[in-house]
């Protein structure tokens, strides 16, 4: 791939894909690890939640679902209050689908 031969639209699309990959990298890796650990726990007759958090009080923050278009390192799971950057983007005419990871 030669970046010099790409149009501005192709470069912008490429940048967006890279930003998305960077933002979701850790979440994707965590999901892989979690799936493996859940399978091992099930094979031994347990649920992973029983092992990790026996009291059941700890919960994960969740996997990000939306990304801030102005700062791809800022994400939101879609649960709880809508962040200000999300409200602003919607007010500026973006749809929820535009902000999805």
Q: What is the pLDDT of residue 56?
A: 53
Instruction: Report pLDDT for 1.
Output: 81
Q: Give the pLDDT score at 49.
A: 85
Output the CA–CA distances (angstroms, integers) from residue 43 to 40, 48, 89, in the order listed.
Answer: 5, 11, 45
Rounded to the nearest 10 degrees, how much is the dihedral formed by the CA atoms of 44, 47, 52, 53?
Answer: -140
Per residue in 61-96, pLDDT (tens digit) is 789 999 999 998 899 999 999 999 999 999 999 999
Is the pTM value of this prediction over 0.75? no
What radius of gyration, in Å, describes the C-alpha atoms of the chain? 18
Predicted pLDDT of residue 94: 93
Q: What is the pLDDT of residues 32-46, one digit of tens each?
A: 999 999 999 999 998
């Amino acid at each position: 791939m030669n970046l010099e031969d790409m149009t501005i639209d192709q470069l912008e699309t490429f940048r967006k894909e890279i930003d998305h990959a960077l933002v979701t990298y850790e979440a994707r890796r965590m999901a892989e690890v979690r799936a493996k650990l859940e399978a091992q726990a099930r094979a031994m007759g347990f649920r992973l939640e029983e092992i990790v958090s026996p009291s059941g009080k700890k919960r994960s923050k969740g996997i990000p679902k939306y990304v801030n278009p102005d700062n791809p390192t800022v994400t939101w799971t879609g649960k709880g209050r809508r962040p200000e950057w999300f409200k602003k983007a919607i007010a500026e005419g973006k749809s929820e689908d535009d902000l999805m990871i």
